[in-house]
Structure 1
Amino acid sequence: MGLFNRNRGQSTAAPRTITLTKSTGPAVDRATVEQRGSVDLTKKFDKAGISLSKAGLDGIRAEAIMILDHSGSMLDDYRNGLVQTLVDRALAFTLQIDGDGKIPVLPFDSRLWPTVTVGLDNYHGVVDRDIFRPQRMGGTYLSYPLQAVLDMAKTANSPLYVVIVTDDDPTDEHDVIRLLKELKRHAVFVKVLTLVKAPFWDRMDDLTVPGLIDNLDAKRIKDPAGMSDLAFADVMVDEWSTWVELATRAGILQ
């Protein structure tokens, strides 16, 4: 999908129209999750289904993507297993909405690290095994993965559900704002989970672009490991149904 194309020109074209698929039930059969995942993952999967159903999004399909902060300030979150917990939760949600049952994880710091595709076959210990590089953690340059997502959005055939996990405001704020504005032109919903108080993301939650719709919801998660599965799933679903409705009216979805 041209994931690493570095064309940075801002488009002025009309938004592309993407067909929204809404079937019934989860994208991945529950029996498959039970057989190949843990009991804990299956519980998270079930609660994600309940949250989607409550919001009228049962059967909705989208391509899930995770952008994962790998900056130095996240060191303890990696070491204590919190990041692995968040990846597990994101995978459980993905299994409800994304038919391939996998979520590409884009780790970033002062660079964009290689994408790690997480699914039922490899999620156990994937963070320590394939993502965490404790001696090579850098700054918070979020524009790198956002540019990759924008490149995907330009050719995507399904809506993108992008979850960003971070504990800080980005270093490259100007470029991040530019890219977030451009993403509003596409079938992309952005869920930002901040681990600390992040004033930048409070501002981005209210960011408006004339003629374009709000596609970003930022939530502070004070205790990701201590949240109930249903509470976390509710956070993931919040404002998505509103975006679907607005995007349909705007011609981004049909």
Structure 2
Amino acid sequence: MALSLEKISEQAPGLLSLAKTASHAVDLSGLNGQKAKVAVALDFSGSMSRAYKSGSMQRLVEKALALATQFDDDGNIDFFIFDSKAAYLGEISIDDFAGSVDRLTNGRRMGSTNYADAFLTIRDHFGFAPPAPQAPPAPPKRGFFGLGKAQPAPIAPATPAPTTPADIPVYVLFLTDGAPDNQSKAVQALTEVSTAPIFWKFLSIGKQSMVFLEKLDTLTERFVDNANYEPIGDVDAISDAVLFEKMLREFPDWLKEARTKDLIQ
């Protein structure tokens, strides 16, 4: 259930115009009534320093929050950053979004670019980690001094993989300005998390499209096609209407496939 525009007007009037634009984009995408938890994962590597200092990342988070109000009536988004490691920094709500990016990243040092840890950290944060692998069975027991007939090893109880579809899918807005340090680990991780009810919207800033994100968008080994890539260049130069349209592109297709594969209800 979407957060009403009346409530947004009362609690976060500075977000109202964005919420209206987001609402229109959701209407056009046919996603009215769809519930989803929205998260943002921002590249916190050294090359992103200017984007943070200029306020571009704060403005992007506000747009993500406006979109989240159309999918979840709690008025919150989960905020992650990734550099050499990924970290969950907390929730951003319609009550405290002003200056939230600076507040939550204050005191952190920028590092390199680790996509894989971001994928796995976010999956685990939302409770979609697979069951822990079972320990190998103990070696067969024999009689005294290793002689005699071998005794059967005890059988560990099987732990079935979760099969209950999730009530609410997760939509992750993942923004970066460069390829990861370890591309093979990123491919492996995105493939691994394709069994979780999470859709990854990759955005890149900069003058050129990112070949590696295009590769992630077209991986064939995944359980479902769980990602879409859109280059946006300058966050502040693109219109809000176009940005929201890009943010929602392929999300409806993923929802259909995820339901077919019993990832979501």
| 1:34 aligned to which of 3, 6, 9 | 9
| Correspondence for 2:119 | 146
| Length-normalised TM-score, structure 2 | 0.80
Determine if contact 2:89/2:104 at 8 Å carries over to the other structure.
no
* Cα deviation code 1:21-43 (max 9, x no counterpart): xxxxx52121111112134x211
| Correspondence for 2:239 | 228
Q: Does 1:165 find its partner at 2:175?
A: yes
* Whole-angstrom CA distance in 2 between matches of 1:71 and 1:235: 24
* Cα deviation code 1:74-123 (max 9, x no counterpart): 00001111111111111111111123211111112113334231111211
* Whole-angstrom CA distance in 2 between matches of 1:83 and 1:119: 16
Q: CA deviation at 1:182?
A: 1.6
* Whole-angstrom CA distance in 1 between matches of 2:106 and 2:246: 25
Q: CA deviation at 1:248?
A: 1.9
* Whole-angstrom CA distance in 2 between matches of 1:114 and 1:91: 16
The residue identity in structure 1 corresponding to 2:65 is: L
Matches within 5 A, 1:1-254: 27-39=2-14, 41-133=15-107, 136-151=109-124, 152-154=126-128, 157-196=167-206, 197-209=209-221, 212-254=223-265
Q: Does the residue aligned with 1:28 lie in a helix, a strand or coil?
A: coil
The residue identity in structure 1 corresponding to 2:174 is: I
Q: CA deviation at 1:132?
A: 4.7
Structure 1: gaps spanning 5 or more residues:
1-25
* Whole-angstrom CA distance in 2 between matches of 1:74 and 1:117: 21
Compared CA separation, residues 229 and 200, structure 1 to 2 (3 A): same
Return the structure number with greater relative CO, CA threshold 8 A, min gap 6. 1
The residue identity in structure 2 corresponding to 1:90 is: A
Please tell me whether Structure 1 or Structure 2 has the larger radius of gyration of its CA atoms. Answer: 2
Alignment RMSD (CA, Å)? 1.7
| Length-normalised TM-score, structure 1 | 0.83
* Whole-angstrom CA distance in 1 between matches of 2:47 and 2:106: 13
**Bigger mean CA offset, 141-150 vs 165-174:** 141-150
Q: Does the residue aligned with 2:195 lie in a helix, a strand or coil?
A: coil
Q: Structure 1 runs of 4+ off > 6 angstroms?
A: none
* Whole-angstrom CA distance in 2 between matches of 1:203 and 1:222: 18
* Whole-angstrom CA distance in 2 between matches of 1:79 and 1:51: 29
* Whole-angstrom CA distance in 2 between matches of 1:117 and 1:72: 23
Q: CA deviation at 1:130?
A: 2.0
The residue identity in structure 2 corresponding to 1:139 is: S
* Whole-angstrom CA distance in 2 between matches of 1:101 and 1:146: 23
* Whole-angstrom CA distance in 2 between matches of 1:203 and 1:132: 33
| Correspondence for 2:150 | none
Q: What percentage of residue pairs aligned between the two structures are identical?
A: 29
**Bigger mean CA offset, 76-85 vs 241-250:** 241-250
Structure 2: gaps spanning 5 or more residues:
130-165
The residue identity in structure 1 corresponding to 2:119 is: L
